[in-house]
Amino acid sequence: MKYGFLALILTATLLPVAPASAEDFKIGDLTISNPWARASAGNARNGAAYLMQIVNNGHDVDRLIAAAAPTAKKTELHNNITEDGIAKMRPVKAIEINPGEPSMLKPGGLHIMMMDLEKPLVPGTIFPMTLTFEKAGQVEVRVTVMEVGSMGHSPMMDHDKMHETMHGPKQ
């Protein structure tokens, strides 16, 4: 009984781990999950937005070809690459979204670069962003601003992790 009550308390305290604003947006065969951006560091004039996942449930490749947000004067699709041991950011014309393969826009990889921000990005705020796909068209998503250094929305703890937290590693 004691462990049952402990499990109930632990579960209740873990539920808030996933932000209330985490949500999915759909257009055509595409589902865009949990758009987010990092808060501005100091007086930074640039920022980046990420899409935890884009899933193409169709049969044909689609491509993210543009993004726009009222928070920035200019927005570009970018990728981080390493050249001669040096990390560099490069604009890309499009990001392919292959059927059945989740595409991730995340720190250190593909992302949406927002340049010349109108104002700093503040943790806890939400701003609109319009994504344009070659086939599916345009969809407006809501981007949640997270703390500087964040790696995005935290997934719920899985059952095995919960078990380890309560009882230690499986023997």
Say which CATH number the domain at 115 has: 2.60.40.1890
Closest listed residue to residue 29, CA positions, set 134, 162, 154: 134
Highest mean pLDDT among 55-64, 151-160, 162-171: 55-64
Confidence of residue 11 (pLDDT cuts 50, 70, 90): very low
Q: What percent of the chain has pLDDT over 70?
A: 74
DSSP at 47: E
pLDDT value, residue 152: 53
Q: What are the CA-CA distances from residue 119 to residues 4, 40, 45, 78 (Å)?
A: 48, 9, 8, 21
Domains held by the chain: number: 1
- 124 lies in some domain: yes
Residue 16 per-residue DSSP state: G
Q: By CB neighbour count within 10 A (0-12 exposed, 13-18 middle, 19+ buried), where does 111 fall?
A: buried
Residue 10 lies in a domain: no
Distance, CA of 56 to chain centre: 16
Task: Decide if 96 is inside a domain.
Answer: yes
3-state SS class at 5: helix
Contact 79, 88 (CB under 8 A): no
- pTM here is 0.74
Tell me if 155 is assigned to some domain.
no
Domain that holds residue 56: 21-150
* Residue 106 pLDDT level (bands cut at 50, 70, 90): very high
Residue 11 lies in a domain: no
- Please give the DSSP secondary-structure letter assigned to residue 124: T
pLDDT at 20 (0 to 100): 37
CB atoms within 10 A of CB 95: 21
In this prediction, residue 42 has a pLDDT band, given cuts at 50, 70 and 90, of confident
166 in a structural domain: no
